Amino acid sequence: MNLTVFSKMLVSILAASLFWSSYSYADRIKDIANVGGVRSNQLVGYGLVVGLNGSGDKTPFAEQSLLSMLNKFGIHVPPGVKTNTKNIAAVAVHAELPAFAKSGQKIDITVSSLGNAKSLRGGTLLLTPLKGVDGNVYAIGQGNLVVGGLDASGADGSKITINVPSVGRIPDGASVERTVNTGFELGNTISLNLKNADFTTATNMVNSINALLGDGTANALDAETVEVMAPRLPNQRVSFLSVLENIEVTPGQDTAKIIVNSRTGTVVIGQNVRVRPAAVTHGGLTVKITERPQVNQPNALADGETVVTPQTDINVQNTGTGRMFKFPEGVSLNDIVQAVNKVGAAPGDLVAILEALKQSGALTADLIII
């Protein structure tokens, strides 16, 4: 693709994009899809934090790390001699290497204690290589830690801890040493991977792209991946993708789902949830359990011991608020919420009602309990 053809295409895309941007209900491609191969990579390393104010490790591997470092600088500690230092801490260092990061760029790193160090406040991370999953070193970390936590204790044993003082961060604490090849500049196509796989969304994306660039420019490989023809020159490809990712697409509606968090009692009901005809009764039983231990005290002159006898009272009451309500066919989310609110159902009661409706086959939705 030469520069003249690409320039004409870019002008037509910009003009047509003004038309598509008027639809507020649509989402941009950059918000619902990722470019294939363009992703970050996780890095991890093992290092040593020094300069702590007596809040360091008391572990063998921290001691071993210190001796190994001293040996590299020509300082040999006799075998069997313990340094007993409290100012060092063995730490794990991790970072995220952004896509297209080049050698010499800076990235943030997080430093976490591996041993029993009480706090990393005031510490300095020494030179630490950060490796990828392939074992190669991609960055080098070093610098002063920023710790948001606080740990303080008194001579009488009292102690207070705020946040987590055993974890810190170093902004721009690592220098990138190796570039990761993303393959972005290779081939004649660009792959767009949907964050939520959906056949309707993939089809709508293909139609939106082809409407701007011409038929055959985009093709859906499956419910997640859309392949788009693209220029080969890097400069043209970057400009092409900057326009492509701002095209707006109408996403397909997701399957009907009900998400229930059993730990917090949170219930989220999707908009496509429907209920077939069903009658539901909401009971009003209250169970009250009371512990009333009985103390048996022997006579003052008797040779006996005080005995505590446990006694439990269980009382079951019916508050009389149980009601029955009927769901007609095809009721919506609003109808379900209003019906449940009328009987005063708590989140736990709502979960029980939804589970019963699902078991009876009256609920046309996926019930997901997390």
The per-residue pLDDT for 129 is 96
State pTM to two decimals.
0.66
d(CA 62, CA 55): 13
In order, the DSSP letters of 133-172 are TTS-EEEEEEEE-B---EEEE-TTS-EEEES-TTEEEEEE
Burial of 116 (0-12, 13-18, 19+ CB in 10 A): middle
Q: What's the pLDDT band for 11 if we cut at 50, 70, 90?
A: very low
Angstrom distances, CA of residue 38 to CA of 84, 203, 327:
48, 22, 49
Burial 212-246 (b: 16+ CB within 10 A, else e): bbeeebbebeeebbbbbbbbeeeebbebbbebbbb
Burial 285-306 (b: 16+ CB within 10 A, else e): eeeeeeeeeeeeeeeeeeeeee
The per-residue pLDDT for 39 is 87
Contact indicator for 335, 269 with CB cutoff of 8 Å = no
Over range 263-273, report the average pLDDT. Answer: 76
What the block records as the tokens of 20 is 């598509």
The per-residue pLDDT for 14 is 42
> Rounded to 5 degrees, what angle do the CA atoms 101, 142, 150 make?
115
More reliable by pLDDT, 151 or 260: 260
d(CA 331, CA 236): 52
